[in-house]
Amino acid sequence: MNSDLHKLQPYPFERLRKLKEGCQPPDDLDPIALSIGEPKHPTPAFITEEVLSHLHGLSAYPLTKGAPELRQAITEWLTERFELPPGSLDPEYHVLPVNGTREALFAFAQAIIDRTRPEPLVLMPNPFYQIYEGAALLAGASPHFLNCTENSGLGPDFSSVDDASWDRCQLLYVCSPHNPTGAVLPVETWQTLIELAHKHDFVIAADECYSEIYLEEDRPPPGLLQAAASAGNTEYSRCVVFHSLSKRSNAPGLRSGFVAGDRDIMTRFLQYRTYHGCAMPPHHQAASILAWRDEAHVKTNRRAYAEKFSAVLRELDGCLDVQEPEAGFYLWARTPVSDTDFARELYRQQNVTVLPGSFLSREADGINPGANRVRMALVAPMDECIDAAKRIRTFTENL
């Protein structure tokens, strides 16, 4: 067995399950889960219908590289969405479809980390998506956590990294909009990171899976490739982005996303994935082409989240320390008691499940930036979100 497997920590939801053991919530209150970031809005019918109409494709092996039509659709979407110079992305070399970004984010570290270099580091935000940590450990590297606190605008504190750590860094995971804080990296910060990547010889992996969920229609979050192109780096050197249809199109079960960026890196990553054996099924590719080419359903999705944020924050006003995020679909609320006590008692008294922030982060530089915070995913239908907010108000007022 891989000797690094013992380094993996329990997944946050396993810890949450154990936290709730022995609790019996009221029988007269229906359960409401705000703990898992699984979209509950309906998957657009045209996506489902396209899957069904292409099941005849099961008789052929799909290419790891994906169909040319899918890579073209992704390239067109990236170019339009992030205002990239036309032609700067070649669908033949810069884009690779993947079966959801979760497995791609993990696989990327396995392909990138050079074990022959001494003491490799993978830098990542803290709190973080636990795949980053597991990917680093199983690639033979050490995670290096960058605290996301109010002092750093709820994004990673890049100023805390010294030159020696940047020199050891081989891979930097950045999530923008950030899960769970909702913080968005500005173009200037992206460009600073690109400069550091060239100076210290590392690769930036930008997890942009929440980029299409934002509250102001005329202020979409900027992305890594956008920042690179605006600085003249139209080869997207050392820049790789990860996108998904799970959040954007309410299609988590489709397991469809893509990786795009630096041509040389993508060429080697394709080589890795050819051996990995992870081609996207043909009917998923067909549906994905339509999804990336349609923006109407994405705008409808954004409006639904914006309405829920407004309604829930009205209910929580004055009872819980929580602010509207820049983007994403999470609320990152401060708790009046420990986050674990808050989550356990809220479940026991009100049958509402939230995720303790400390389960999403590690202690670094003497603090756990998720402590005394809970993550609430506003993915449930509007009536459930409002009901949950009312129960949270009742719970906090009785603390």
Beta bridge partners of 376: 331
Q: What is the pLDDT of residue 2?
A: 87
Query: Domains, the chain, ranges and CATH?
Result: 3-42+297-397 (3.90.1150.10), 45-294 (3.40.640.10)
The C-alpha atoms of residue 40 and residue 381 are separated, in whole angstroms, by 7
Taking the CB of residue 90, how many other CB atoms lie within 10 A of it? 12
Q: What is the pLDDT of residue 235?
A: 97
The pLDDT tens digits for 302-327 are: 999 999 999 999 999 999 999 999 99
- DSSP state, residue 57: G
Residues 6 or more apart in contact with residue 221 via CB below 8 angstroms = 176, 177, 184, 185, 208, 211, 214, 326, 327
Q: What is the pLDDT of residue 277?
A: 78
Give me the torsion for CA of 69, 75, 79, 84, rounded to 10°: -140
Beta-sheet pairing, 203-207 with 169-175: parallel
Beta-sheet pairing, 121-126 with 169-175: parallel
Q: Could you tell me if 322 and 331 are in contact, meaning their C-beta atoms sit under 8 angstroms apart?
A: yes
Q: For 331-392, give the DSSP string.
A: EEEE-SS-HHHHHHHHHHHH-EE-EEGGGG---BTTB-TTTTEEEEETTS-HHHHHHHHHHH
Angle between helices 101-112 and 263-276 (to 10 degrees): 110
Regions in the chain scoring below 70 on pLDDT: none
∠183-188-191 over CA atoms, to 5°?
Answer: 110
The C-alpha atoms of residue 76 and residue 288 are separated, in whole angstroms, by 13
Q: What is the pLDDT of residue 1?
A: 87
Q: What is the pLDDT of residue 398?
A: 92
Q: What is the pLDDT of residue 302?
A: 97
The C-alpha R_g of the chain, in whole angstroms, comes to: 21
pTM of this prediction exceeds 0.95 = yes
